[in-house]
Every structure is written in structure tokens, then in C-alpha cells.
Amino acid sequence: MLSVAVTGSAGSLGKRVVDLLVQDQSVYRVVAIDRRHQRSTDDKVSAVRLELSAPTGEPDELAAAFVGCDSVVHCASDEGRVSHHLVAADILARVLDAATEAEVGHVVIISSAMVYGAWPDNPVPLAEDAPLRANDDLAFVAAKREMERLASTWASGGRRAAVLRPTTTLAESGSSWIARSLRIATTIRSDRVDPPVQFVHYDDLASAAAIVATQRAAGVYNVSPDGFIGSEAFHQLIGGLQLRVPGDLSDLVLRVGRQLGVRPTPEGIEPYVHAPWVVANDRLRSLGWSPRFSNEEALVLGTPPPPWEIPPGRRQELVLAGSALLAVGAAAAAAAIARRLVRR
């Protein structure tokens, strides 16, 4: 029987991981750690309110929460705020120090498939042994690369670390920060060939984290549905306003928008719009994991229509309602004409 701690347990990802671990018969205790107040919904769950961004030299309180745990799933840096990217490495360092003090032998961290970099010559799809060629222009990617380095160094001391590299993550209750940024960036399309894209649902990322934690698996695991979405299918699915511009003009438009604060995108995101970085999930599948949602389903569920766009279901309701009103109006007009004829 296992005891597993989850940081960021009140967030979009952490909450899902906690729920899955509670349902797992091999887990007898889940330590749910978050800076926000939580209510324990199950006897297995021990809720701990704790601010992880405290100085890395003071891990005592966090270490106390980790005591007796077999694994730590670190979801606290996945909430997507820019401020989190700036302190992500410091937070992870504190988590790892506390895990060492509490003698926890296994950690799971959430990185990103973006660490491979986006290049025209990337294999489609990328496997875990592909070189990491991302530059540090994009702060999100720089933070993930540093987190991977810290986890690798920690594991070299005879411990085990698992690194999950999900593709763009979406869900009905909210998309990841990088997903929202990419959505803005793709409204301005270059006339160059668009790359294939992938989207993974938060439920599938959570199940990957839970499986890796309960199996205490080590190493790197890509997290994505099977296959990918081609360019035209992607733009048909997201709908909304899209502008095609020649050559590198799309990058210029994004930079100007960033400087003016008009639909700003983070610096360094441009390559991820123009070149492929889709990944293979074979290694994760070998642990028994399988995605519940396809790329298309994750994208549609996690991409609400713009305010001016009527969803298909609502559009159908309005059409039917309009037809009914027309029918009622026609009947009323016919009745009025009939009454006039009778009076004559």
C-alpha cells in the first residue's frame, strides 16, 4: 500500500490527480498540499495548507507533510500564471529538499513537450530520446528545462524521478496558460506550411501522473493522445477570426501586438506556431496508460467559442424556436384573415 503527496492539489491538474489516487486500491493515503483551503472529501485524504514559494532553505514544514510518503506528484507549478514560471525552479528545489529530508524516494514533475523545441526538421512524432533543442527565449520553456535538470540531479543520488512532458493541455474548466497563448498566436497565420498539432485533456495528464506515481516509474514520458491534427482540420475546429499574412509578417504582427498590449503573446512563442513539436506516447502506454480523449475532443472541449459565435447546439435551438414563432405568427395571420372574410 502506498502513500502519495500531491502539491498544488487544489489546482486543475492536482485536484484530478488526488481524485484518481483516492480511487486507486493500492493507495491508502493521499496528502493534498496547496496554499488554498481544501476540504477533505475522503478518509484517505489529508489536506495540508502550505505556501510552497517560501524560501528554499526552510523545508521543515513541507518535509513534515511528506513524512511516510512513497511518492510526491508535483503539480503546483502547472497552474499557468506567468509569476509561477519565474519561481518554478525555486519551488521545485524546496519540494526536492523536503523530499530528501522526509526520505521520499520518488517524485513526479510536470514538464512540457515544448522542451524539444519547434524545428522544421523535427521527427513527427518525437520520442523521449530526441535531443532537447528549445532555446530559453520562452520563459515557460526555460522554467521547464531547469525543473528537469533539478529532478535529474536529485535522482542521481539513488532516488527515482519521473518527468512528464505533455503536449498542449486543455479542459472544459480551463486551459493551461501556454494553451491560451498559442490560441492567440494562431489567429495570425503565416502563408508558410502550418505544422501538425496535438492537445491532451487534463484528465489524461492526471491519469498519467497517477499511474507513474503508483508504479514509481522513472525516466521521461511524453503525454499525448494518439496521432495529431493537421493544419486545416485544426483551424476548422477552432473557428473564429483567422488572418493569413505573408512570410514572416505574422511574427512581426505578434511582436507589435506584444509591445502594444493588444492580445499579447509571450516572447519566444513564434517557433511553436510555425514548426512541429508533436510527440509519441508509446513509452507511457507501456505502463498501461491510455488516453480517454482524442486530440480533436480535447481541443473542442477546451476551446470555448468566442462571445459572438453561437455554439452549434444553441444555434439549432434558436433556429427551431424561430421556426415555431414563424408558425405561430402564420397561424395568427391566417386566423385574422379568416375573421375579416367572415365579417364581410
Q: Give me the pLDDT at residue 326, please.
A: 43
Q: Give me the pLDDT at residue 65, please.
A: 96
**pLDDT at 176 > cutoff 90:** no
* Contact indicator for 272, 200 with CB cutoff of 8 Å: no
What is the Cα–Cα distance from 41 to 2, expressed in whole angstroms?
19
- pLDDT band at residue 87 using 50, 70 and 90 as cut-offs: confident
What's the predicted TM-score (pTM) here?
0.81
Mean pLDDT of 202-224: 98
* Contact indicator for 171, 302 with CB cutoff of 8 Å: yes
65 and 105, same domain (yes or no):
yes
Mean pLDDT of 18-31: 97
Mean pLDDT of 49-73: 84
317 and 204, same domain (yes or no):
no
What is the Cα–Cα distance from 142 to 139, expressed in whole angstroms?
5
Rounded to 10 deg, the angle between the 231-238 and 295-302 helix axes is 30
- pLDDT band at residue 249 using 50, 70 and 90 as cut-offs: low
What is the Cα–Cα distance from 310 to 304, expressed in whole angstroms?
10
| Residues 293, 232, 112, 262, Cα dihedral to 10° | -120
Q: Give me the pLDDT at residue 6, please.
A: 98
125 closest CA partner among 237, 271, 234, 226 = 226
34 and 169, same domain (yes or no):
yes
127 and 166, same domain (yes or no):
yes
286 and 338, same domain (yes or no):
no
178 closest CA partner among 243, 119, 114 = 114
284 and 343, same domain (yes or no):
no
Q: Which domain holds residue 327?
A: 312-344
- pLDDT band at residue 233 using 50, 70 and 90 as cut-offs: confident
316 and 221, same domain (yes or no):
no
Instruction: At 314, list the grid cell.
Output: 444553441
Per the domain annotation, does 192 fall within a domain?
no
Q: Give me the pLDDT at residue 57, please.
A: 46
Q: Give me the pLDDT at residue 174, please.
A: 61
320 and 209, same domain (yes or no):
no
Mean pLDDT of 62-71: 97
- pLDDT band at residue 150 using 50, 70 and 90 as cut-offs: very high
- Structural element, H or E, at residue 209: helix 202-215
Q: Cell 505544422 appears where? A: 195
Number of neighbours of residue 61 by Cβ within 10 angstroms: 12
337 and 210, same domain (yes or no):
no
What is the Cα–Cα distance from 221 to 218, expressed in whole angstroms?
9
158: left (phi over 0), alpha (psi -120 to 50) or beta: left
171 and 317, same domain (yes or no):
no
Q: Give me the pLDDT at residue 175, please.
A: 60
Mean pLDDT of 303-329: 47
Mean pLDDT of 133-139: 86
Mean confidence (pLDDT) of the chain: 81
Highest mean pLDDT pick, 293-297, 301-305, 313-317, 334-338: 293-297
Report the number of distinct structural domains present in the chain. Answer: 2
Q: Give me the pLDDT at residue 329, please.
A: 47
Per the domain annotation, does 58 fall within a domain?
yes
Per the domain annotation, does 252 fall within a domain?
no
Per the domain annotation, does 250 fall within a domain?
no
Per the domain annotation, does 269 fall within a domain?
no
* Contact indicator for 221, 109 with CB cutoff of 8 Å: no
205 and 340, same domain (yes or no):
no
- Structural element, H or E, at residue 326: helix 312-343
* Contact indicator for 78, 91 with CB cutoff of 8 Å: no
Query: Which CATH number goes with the domain that contains 218?
Result: 3.40.50.720
What is the Cα–Cα distance from 156 to 162, expressed in whole angstroms?
12
Task: Decide: helix, strand or coil at residue 305.
Answer: coil
* Contact indicator for 15, 43 with CB cutoff of 8 Å: no
Per the domain annotation, does 25 fall within a domain?
yes
- pLDDT band at residue 315 using 50, 70 and 90 as cut-offs: very low
Based on the number of CB atoms within 10 Å of its own CB, is 269 exposed (0-12), middle (13-18) or buried (19 or more)?
buried
Mean pLDDT of 271-285: 93
Bigger pLDDT: 249 vs 107? 107
- pLDDT band at residue 140 using 50, 70 and 90 as cut-offs: confident
Q: Give me the pLDDT at residue 254, please.
A: 57
- Structural element, H or E, at residue 61: helix 60-66
Q: Give me the pLDDT at residue 333, please.
A: 46
Bigger pLDDT: 29 vs 335? 29
Per the domain annotation, does 193 fall within a domain?
no
222 and 330, same domain (yes or no):
no
Per the domain annotation, does 266 fall within a domain?
no
